[in-house]
Amino acid sequence: MQTSFKTGDKAVYPGQGVGEVMGIEHTEVAGQRQSFYVLRILENGMRIMIPINKVGSVGLREIISEEDVKQVYSILREKDISVDSTTWNRRYREYMEKIKTGSVFEIAEVLRDLYLLKGDKDLSFGERKMLDTARSLLIKELSLAKDCSEEEVESDLKKIFNLA
C-alpha cells in the first residue's frame, strides 16, 4: 500500500515516532534523480529524508485511525498474558524488533508487557529505557490520533496500569 504525503502531514517513522512532512526534495543519487520526503521528528527535531519510492519498505505510515485507537487501548488493558520468563536480553531483542516494526499495536504490547513485568520485578536499565521509548512513541501518536493533549493520554495510561 503506497501512501502519499503532503507538506504538513503527520506520519509515523518506525523506531523514531511521529514526524511532520516538511516538504519534498529532489536530489541526484548515483546519477539518478530521486524524490525524498523530508520528515522532521516531533520528539527531537531530527530531520530524516525518505526516498518516496521506498516509503512502503521503510514502513512510513499515516497516524492511526479512531478505530485503531480503541484496539490499542484494548491491547493495553489485557492483563491475562504471561510475560515471557526468558532472559532479559532475549526479551529485550524481541521488544526491540517489535518497536522497529513501527506498528502501534506491537509498541502497545511492548509497553503493556514491560509494565506488567515491572510489577513483578525490577526492570533492567535497557528495559526501563525501552519502556520510556514505547511510552513516548505511543503517547505522541495516540494524542494526535485522538486529537487531545499528551497529558490526557498519559493520564489514560496511568489509569490502565494503576499508576495514578
Question: What confidence tens digit (pLDDT) does each residue in 5-61 have?
Answer: 999 999 999 989 999 999 999 999 889 999 999 999 998 999 999 999 999 899 999
C-alpha grid cell, residue 111: 509497553
Distance (Å, rounded) from C-alpha 19 to C-alpha 44? 10
Q: Are residues 55 and 77 in the same domain?
A: no
Assessment of whether the complete model's pTM goes beyond 0.85 = yes
Give the count of domains, the chain: 2
Residue 85 clears pLDDT 90, i.e. is over it: no
Q: Given a cut of 50, is residue 118 above it in pLDDT?
A: yes
Q: How far apart are CA 17 and CA 13, in angstroms?
A: 5
In Å, the largest CA–CA distance within the chain is 57
The confidence score (pLDDT) of residue 119 equals 83
| Residue where one domain finishes, among candidates 16, 34, 60 | 60
d(CA 65, CA 140): 14
Using alpha carbons only, how large is the chain's radius of gyration in Å? 17
Q: Residue 107 sits in which domain range?
A: 64-159
With a cut of 80, say whether residue 164 has pLDDT above it. no
Verify that 75 and 50 share a domain, yes or no: no
Give the model confidence (pLDDT) of 56-75 as tens digits: 899 999 999 999 999 999 99
* pLDDT the model gives residue 22: 97
CA distance 16 to 102: 8
Residue 164 inside a domain? The answer is no
